[in-house]
Amino acid sequence: MYKLPDDRNQPESGDFRVVARERGPKLVDTRQALANGDGGSAQEFAQGAGRGGAIRATLTQGLRTVAARLLGFYRGRGTRRLEPGAEFARPYPWESSYPQGVSWQVEIESKRLDSLVDRAVADFAERPCLEFLGKKHSYKDFGELVAKAAKGFQKLGVKKGDRVGLFLPNSPYYVICYHAVLKAGGTVVNFNPLYAEREIARQISDSGARILVTMDLSSLYKKVKGRLQDTCLETVVVCRMTAALPFPVNALFAFVKRREVTSIPSDGSHYKFDKLVANDGAYDSVEIDPDKDVAVLQYTGGTTGTPMGAMLTHANLHANVIQTRMWATGVKPGEEKMLAVLPLFHVFGMTAVMNLSLLIGAEIILLPRFKVAEVLKAIDKQRPTVFMGVPTMYSAINGQKDLDKYDLSSLNYCLSGGAALPQAIKTTFETLTGCVLVEGYGLSEAAPVCTINPFEGVHKPDSIGLPIPGTTVRIMSLKDPDKPLPLGEHGEICVAGPQVMIGYKDRPEVTEKALRDSLLHTGDVGYMDADGYVFLIDRIKDLIITGGFNVYPRMVEEAVYLHPAVDEVVVCGVPDRHRGEVVKAYIKLRAGSSLKPSELRDFLKDKLAVFEIPRRVEFRDELPKTLIGKPDRKALREAEAKKAEAAETVEA
């Protein structure tokens, strides 16, 4: 059982003291000296204007003109700083901001993750569990298929700790095989179906997966078949798409989409899902230590950019589901419907969509991909009550021209994660649907949820929320990772809690750096205000250094979003011989809008420092995104690198 530390175990130095609490804390409005790379020596500014207007800041008395040129004029966020000095002890600043009925102090029992299936089947046997394009499975049916697949995996040789890869889109096969692998004693390895063959081969080799589950869709299988020759992969379990569909849709699919379905060799390296579950379901129970045994290898770039397997134990993942459930106090077990359009192979979809649904006995409405018209139709017809998404999904809904013909009133809980949620998208969505949209924050290494804004209570613009029950957030110095910073100052967001991974597979040095003093160093820059709300500024690795100044892409993006012609924007640094890097904005305009780079720069003059204003602007019809819908900065950087390489070749 994970027990929260008492005050005696808390660090004793470098945090904050509430001064004269009866009269309120001693507050100083601050703006960090971003150019020096550390929030610890921030210059103090008078508070700037609010989010929507002309944003100005004046230097406090005694600051020299040169300091103004170094720091620029930053947009005020209303951040507040309390005097440092006291230990970081309970009650933590965020506890006073908690929703009614939610307590930070909890004891979460360490359990194996697949116990969620046993409990759900016992409590909700006849309730719908999975719905996929018209075909439904009850919880009883689901439980039986999981047990049969578990026995099937064991017949294939899966033993405790063996890694089994899932190369699947959202479908019943994913949910069934995920928990069947766990019941068989194995470890799930999630694969992104958009991966190229080289990436798939590298992850198979790194994880040591001998078995991979996929579908008979040619777009998937063609990437997998060659891995039987060039990696340690021994067996491919193939699931039939038509078997997942109801009649007559399955017959129509087999005819209309026959070119998308591939034939599978009949040999010892291939095993059909139908055969996998052709048994009595009497699998051999495997003893699991929830705190030590890895349930999922979740590959992530971490703070290095190189994909590594974050080792998430049964206890990590089970705890995070419980923590997330505690936050949604109004959820009614056995009555909710979850719209599952987030990819389940992604840690956000895996925990907040799939596993949370099993915990509360929700019906999981599975969609294989995000298409805005299909999502709106599903909400209108199937009446989901919970929708987890990323900002681009909510933005697409906001921009749908015929939105008024869909009834979205069934939605009660909407959560955005995976990327920064612009305030304009949040406000528009809430106005159109009547459902509060809250932003959360997490990362693969924390299973993933760390902070969420209250569904009921104060929503602070740009905040990623409050630490969830049992989770501690600290802000550490960028210069000295062991030095905690006072409230209001910018530094690295660090997290502790029962959901934090035990390390990266076969990466002891990286693990030691990431898990310093029992804190997960996230690689994200942010701050915490006096009420315990956390604000994310940007990824450390996304930091742009131009002419010696530090620029955070997210802050530039938020300013650009204020222009009414801008639909989407991604900002990153591109190489420059003179300044090292310069700020470049990639922009998708709203339909029927026009904008010139010079007009954008004029618009940003009172919103950003001179060195933050994009020197280069590129307008595009579409911006690259990952499968989950996050802006794909990596793709943009790679494109810029190729341009630079081509230019150098021409000059040579």
Per residue in 403-422, pLDDT (tens digit) is: 999 999 999 999 999 878 88
Quote the pLDDT of residue 616.
95
One-letter amino acid at 526 equals G
In whole angstroms, give the CA distance from residue 182 to residue 115. Answer: 10
In whole angstroms, give the CA distance from residue 514 to residue 306. Answer: 14
pLDDT exceeds 60 at position 40: no
Residue 512 · residue 506 · CB < 8 Å: no
* More reliable by pLDDT, 467 or 461: 467
Of the given ranges (66-70, 276-280, 408-412), which has the lowest mean pLDDT?
66-70
Quote the pLDDT of residue 532.
97
Across the range 508-529, mean pLDDT stands at 94
Quote the pLDDT of residue 78.
36
| Number of CB atoms found within 10 A of residue 252's CB | 12
Quote the pLDDT of residue 647.
66
367 φ, ψ to 5°? -120, 130
Across the range 582-607, mean pLDDT stands at 94
Across the range 369-375, mean pLDDT stands at 95
* More reliable by pLDDT, 61 or 247: 247
152 φ, ψ to 5°? -60, -40
pLDDT exceeds 70 at position 541: yes
Quote the pLDDT of residue 552.
79
pLDDT exceeds 50 at position 11: no
Across the range 189-209, mean pLDDT stands at 93
Quote the pLDDT of residue 5.
42
Across the range 600-620, mean pLDDT stands at 92
Residue 409 · residue 434 · CB < 8 Å: yes
Scan for tokens 């359990």, then name that residue. 111
In whole angstroms, give the CA distance from residue 174 to residue 163. Answer: 15
pLDDT exceeds 60 at position 115: yes
Across the range 165-190, mean pLDDT stands at 98
For residue 103, what are its two tokens? 């307590």
Residue 472 · residue 525 · CB < 8 Å: no
Quote the pLDDT of residue 249.
86
DSSP string of 119-183, one letter each residue = HHHHHHTTSEEEEETTEEEEHHHHHHHHHHHHHHHHHTT--TT-EEEE---SSHHHHHHHHHHHH
459 φ, ψ to 5°? -110, 110
- Structural domains in the chain, CATH included, are 1-10+91-113+314-540 (3.40.50.12780), 129-289 (3.40.50.980), 543-651 (3.30.300.30)
Across the range 23-46, mean pLDDT stands at 30
pLDDT exceeds 70 at position 629: yes
Q: Average pLDDT of the chain?
A: 85
Across the range 108-124, mean pLDDT stands at 98
Of the given ranges (62-66, 358-362, 456-460, 510-514), which has the lowest mean pLDDT?
62-66
pLDDT exceeds 70 at position 59: no
Across the range 544-572, mean pLDDT stands at 87
In whole angstroms, give the CA distance from residue 208 to residue 194. Answer: 20
Torsion of CA 346, 349, 351, 353, to 10 degrees: -170
pLDDT exceeds 90 at position 597: yes
190 CB-contact burial (10 Å; exposed 0-12 / middle 13-18 / buried 19+): buried
For residue 10, what are its two tokens? 């808390």
Measure the CA angle with vertex 264, ends 260 and 269; round to 5°: 140
Quote the pLDDT of residue 540.
78
Q: Confidence band (pLDDT; 50, 70, 90) for 54? A: very low
In whole angstroms, give the CA distance from residue 308 to residue 301. Answer: 6
pLDDT exceeds 70 at position 21: no
Quote the pLDDT of residue 648.
59
pLDDT exceeds 60 at position 256: yes
| Number of CB atoms found within 10 A of residue 328's CB | 20
